[in-house]
Structure 1
Amino acid sequence: MKHTQPLPGDIGLTQISGVTGRLIRFGQWINGDGFADYEHTFLVLPGERLLEAEPGGARIRPLSEYDGSDVLYVCPEQLTEQQRERICAAADRYVGVPYSFLDYLAIATHRLHVPVPGLRRYVASSRHMICSQLVDQCYQDADVHLFSDGRWPGYVTPMALYTLLAR
């Protein structure tokens, strides 16, 4: 479900410009998610805050950081208030978790069926995450499973969230 006024537990999808945005678009393309313009994901928290994965580690910031940006807010259709609270409560445990561009490579390796021992464990690890993995993990911690297609835990990109929730 798409909407314009964010609520705690919503997922923000936005663009990243420059080289980093182009690299993420390429990583999503390798993973079969296309070249569309959503390269970053964050979780809306109570108190006009958000949780996002960053190269220096996941952090909580003011939601106003995205004022003036083109952000699409999405969430599952039947998300309850109790689920929203549990999703947001999970956020604190991931502050500081390192960002890992290597997760895009690991996800692509899986998609291309390259046999790499320990790959599933690496992708599912919460010791390092890209932004979409971080958001998906908070949902999973609240026992809200966004994907029912049998994908590995952690096998999620910003465009996978867009495709699931915004189309």
Structure 2
Amino acid sequence: MQHALPMPGDIGLTRINGDVGRLIRIGQWLNGNGFGDYQHAFLVLPGEMLIEAEPGGATIRSLSAYDGVDVLYVCPEGLTDARRDAICAVGRGYEGVPYSFLDYLAIAVHRLRLPFPGLRRYVAATGHMICSQLVDQSYQHAGVRLFDDGRWSGYVTPMALYRLLAR
């Protein structure tokens, strides 16, 4: 489900311009998500705040940081206020978690079925998360499973969130 006004627990999807955005698009393409327009995801928190994974670590900031930016807000249908509260509480706990571009490579290696013993364990053990992993994990640890396609936990890109929730 998508809507214009964000609520706590919603997922914001937006574009990243420049070289970083192009690298993420390539990573998403390698992961089977195509060259879509969304390279970044964040979680809306209460009080017009958000949490997002970024290279310096996951940061909580004002939602106004995205004023004037084209953001698509999505969430699963039927999300209750209690679930939204739980998702936000979990998401807030990820503040400071390090970021890793290598997770895009790990997701692609898994998708392409390239032999890499211990890959799943490695991704889980690093403690790093890309933006879409932070969102997905916030939902999962609050008891809301977004994906039921058998994917490994955390193996999600911003475009995977778009394809699941915005269509």
- Shorter chain as normaliser: what TM range? over 0.9
1:71 is aligned to 71
1:94 is aligned to 94
TM score, norm. by length of structure 2: 0.98
RMSD (Å) for aligned C-alpha atoms: 0.9
**Which stretch shows the higher mean deviation, 89-98 or 55-64?**
89-98
Mark the CA change 1:126 to 1:137 in structure 2 (over 3 Å): closer, same or farther. farther
1:117-161 deviations in whole A, cap 9, x for unaligned?
110122334710000000000001101000011100011000000
Residue correspondences, number: 167
2:131 is aligned to 131
**Aligned 1:18-167 pairs, distance under 5 A:** 18-125=18-125, 127-167=127-167
Identify unmatched segments of 5+ residues in structure 2. Answer: none
Give 1:78 deviation, angstroms.
1.1
Whether the 8 Å CA contact 1:10–1:43 is kept in 2: the answer is: yes
2:11 is aligned to 11
1:2 is aligned to 2
Inter-partner Cα distance in structure 2 for 1:39 and 1:123: 20
Give 1:12 deviation, angstroms.
0.1
Question: Does the residue aligned with 1:55 lie in a helix, a strand or coil?
Answer: coil
Mark the CA change 1:60 to 1:161 in structure 2 (over 3 Å): closer, same or farther. same
Inter-partner Cα distance in structure 2 for 1:92 and 1:69: 23
Inter-partner Cα distance in structure 2 for 1:113 and 1:59: 33
Inter-partner Cα distance in structure 2 for 1:125 and 1:49: 28
Inter-partner Cα distance in structure 1 for 2:126 and 2:66: 26
Identify unmatched segments of 5+ residues in structure 1. Answer: none
TM score, norm. by length of structure 1: 0.98
Mark the CA change 1:67 to 1:126 in structure 2 (over 3 Å): closer, same or farther. farther
**Which stretch shows the higher mean deviation, 85-94 or 20-29?**
85-94
